[in-house]
């Protein structure tokens, strides 16, 4: 089971990396990760450990996690992820 999870994360990271490369040089933002791909244990919430498996392209993972976790309960709900607006990048 652990091997399957590792393989799934490698595939996910490859897809995200490809999307980021495609978005470079254009005005398109990289796609926001899908909740179900981050909630690897399927319990309906993203823990910091799950969130941290995909390192953010910029910034500290804990800081970003804390910004998304609006109620501060240590988990990101699907609603919190969908309502989170990342800060605008400086050009």
Q: What is the mean pLDDT of the chain?
A: 81
Give the model confidence (pLDDT) of 18-59 as tens digits.
Answer: 666 655 555 556 667 789 999 999 999 999 999 998 888 788
Q: How far apart are CA 10 and CA 15, in angstroms?
A: 9
Q: What percent of the chain has pLDDT over 70?
A: 68
Average pLDDT, integer, range 77-88 = 88
Assigned CATH class of 32-91: mainly alpha
What is the domain partition of the chain in residue ranges?
32-91
Residue 86 has pLDDT above 70, yes or no: yes
Predicted TM-score of the model (pTM): 0.62
Contacts with 58 (C-beta within 8 Å, 6 or more apart), sequence order = 89
Which of 33, 48, 47 minimizes the C-alpha distance to 82? Answer: 33
Average pLDDT, integer, range 1-22 = 66
């Amino acid at each position: 089971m652990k091997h399957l999870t590792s393989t799934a994360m490698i595939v996910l990271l490859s897809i995200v990396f490809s999307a980021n490369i495609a978005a470079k040089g254009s005005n398109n933002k990289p796609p926001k990760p899908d909740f179900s791909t981050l909630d690897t244990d399927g319990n309906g919430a993203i823990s910091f450990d799950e969130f941290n498996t995909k390192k953010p392209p910029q910034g500290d993972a804990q800081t970003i996690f804390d910004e998304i976790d609006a109620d501060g309960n240590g988990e990101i709900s699907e609603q919190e992820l969908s309502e989170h607006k990342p800060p605008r990048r400086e050009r």
